[in-house]
Amino acid sequence: MNMNVMITIAKDILPQSFLTYVAFRVAMLDTMERVSWTLQFDSLDDTGFGFLTEVPFLRTVPPHVQMDLLASTWWKHVSTETHEGNLVDESIIYAACELAARVCEQEPAVVERLLARGPMDLNVKVNRQLATELRALHLNLSNDGDFLLIGQFSDLDPDEAIRLKEKFHFDNERAQVMFEVLGRWHISPNFETRANSLLTEAEAKRTLQLMQQKISASRSRS
């Protein structure tokens, strides 16, 4: 990876390390495989699964959109410019790290398979230590965790929500991007380019095809 580029979260730099690659790759391919399963078995369930369900407020985001968003955050991470991450980026980093850590603990063989034959040649032990390091990757970023608070505010009485937002210095304007994601259905252009160095060319092409098939299948049922 190019060590001179970055995405910043609350002015902290998301480290350009193999851990970021592991978290994003496991999150992408785990979600992609689940999309593939729903297509094979003609499942009607377009929501409720995918790495981004780790963030309660974003549980209803369709899996193909989750993968598209992850590719965009990854692109910011490895692009030739510095990008200031928004709440969606923070959500994606958190969710990818948490999902990858849990799979490391529960199904290490799955992580080993997902990392095999990827763009980065890794020699890493998949164990609880790796899971701990993956969680530390997002815990070491000094964000306020606002992406986890939004759902809680939605369940409160409006006056109580306003009081708590003031208490926690919650930025409503910055949170707007989270609400925009809820209504998103399309795939941004150049998915394969944005997934460069995270997926191989063949994997990126296959993933894009599955995303497009999922959209078509969902439309045909509506």
Contact 10, 143 (CB under 8 A): yes
> Is residue 222, in this structure, part of any structural domain at all?
no
Please state the rounded mean pLDDT for residues 49-72.
Answer: 95
Asked if residue 5 belongs to a domain, the reply is: no
Quote the pLDDT of residue 2.
47
Range of the domain at 77: 12-209
The encoded tokens of residue 151 equal: 């759902």
- Sequence-separated (6 or more) residues with CB below 8 Å from residue 34: 49, 50, 63
Residue 149 maps to a domain: yes
Contact status, residue 21 vs residue 120, Cβ threshold 8 Å: yes
Per-residue DSSP letter, 53: G
Number of domains in the chain: 1
Residue 43 is assigned to a structural domain of this protein: yes
Give, as one character, the DSSP assignment of residue 12. Answer: E
Q: What's residue 40's pLDDT?
A: 85
**Which amino acid, residue 108?**
P
Q: CA 66, CA 100: separation in Å to the nearest integer?
A: 15
pLDDT for residue 47:
62
Structural domain includes residue 2:
no
Q: Which residue has the higher pLDDT, 2 or 67?
A: 67
Asked if the structure places residue 218 within a domain, the reply is no
> Does a structural domain hold residue 219?
no
**Res. 121: pLDDT tops 70:** yes
* Nearest alpha carbon to residue 7 among 65, 81, 69, 66: 81
**pLDDT digit string (tens) for 182-197?**
999 999 999 999 999 9
